């Protein structure tokens, strides 16, 4: 019994430390190397579409044009797009080349290979195995409403948002 109580005491002491350390696993970097968290972008009164991509992903290279068009059409009104490159800080040059090559007009962050896995697990309760593109759609209030591995088109996103808005009314 003493061992159990001692173990619980250790957990109680460590719990605040572990709880504070958890968000560090979810830290992303902007293209200048400054830290950011997904929570900075979610729930600000607009739909948020998160595109997780890799510069060498053939499907990402095709899909990005759909999300550029979606972002352009909606960023001033009801929705925005955020890119998360899984090229990582060491692949920053590849990520920058992808952004330049495609004329990406939405903000992008770099993942270190662990951050999005932690974000996905926290958000969905399921592990993410690294498939790209991965898309998440958050409501204006910050609720995760959809997740999808594979390409996502502008018209499909607009239809989803329209239907989700109608269901809430």
pLDDT at 18: 37
Quick one: pLDDT band at residue 1, thresholds 50, 70, 90?
Answer: low
How far, rounded to the nearest angstrom, does the alpha carbon of residue 51 sit from its chain's CA centroid?
Answer: 7
pLDDT interval class at 3 (50, 70, 90)? low
pLDDT digits (tens, 9 = 90+) for 72-120: 999 999 999 999 999 988 899 999 999 999 999 999 999 977 899 999 9
Q: In the prediction, which pLDDT does 11 show?
A: 38
pLDDT in tens, 40-65: 999 999 999 999 999 999 999 999 99
pLDDT at 74: 97
Residue 30 pairs in a beta bridge with: 109
User: What is the rounded (10 degree) CA torsion for 32, 36, 41, 44?
Assistant: -120
- Residue spans of the domains in the chain: they are 26-168
Q: What is the pLDDT of residue 78?
A: 95
Tens of pLDDT, residue by residue over 9-25, are 433 344 343 334 445 68
Q: How far is CA 17 from CA 25, 26, 36, 96, 158, in A?
A: 13, 16, 20, 36, 42
Chosen CATH of 26-168 out of 2.20.28.120, 3.30.70.1340, 3.40.50.2000, 3.40.30.10: 3.40.30.10
The answer on pLDDT for 126 being more than 90 is: yes
Q: What per-residue confidence (pLDDT) applies to 9?
A: 42
């Amino acid at each position: 019994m003493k061992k159990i109580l001692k173990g619980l005491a250790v957990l109680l002491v460590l719990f605040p430390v572990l709880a504070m350390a958890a968000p560090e696993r979810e830290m992303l970097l902007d293209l200048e190397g400054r830290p950011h968290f997904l929570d900075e972008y979610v729930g600000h009164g607009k739909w948020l579409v998160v595109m997780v991509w890799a510069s060498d992903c053939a499907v990402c290279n095709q899909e990005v044009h759909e999300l550029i068009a979606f972002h352009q059409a909606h960023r001033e009104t009801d929705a925005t797009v955020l890119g998360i490159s899984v090229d990582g800080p060491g692949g920053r040059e590849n990520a920058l080349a992808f952004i330049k090559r495609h004329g990406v007009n939405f903000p992008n962050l770099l993942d270190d290979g662990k951050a999005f896995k932690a974000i996905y697990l926290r958000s969905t309760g399921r592990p993410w195995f690294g498939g790209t593109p991965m898309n998440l759609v958050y409501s204006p209030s910050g609720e995760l409403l959809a997740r999808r591995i594979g390409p996502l088109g502008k018209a499909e996103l607009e239809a989803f948002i329209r239907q989700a808005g109608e269901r809430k009314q």
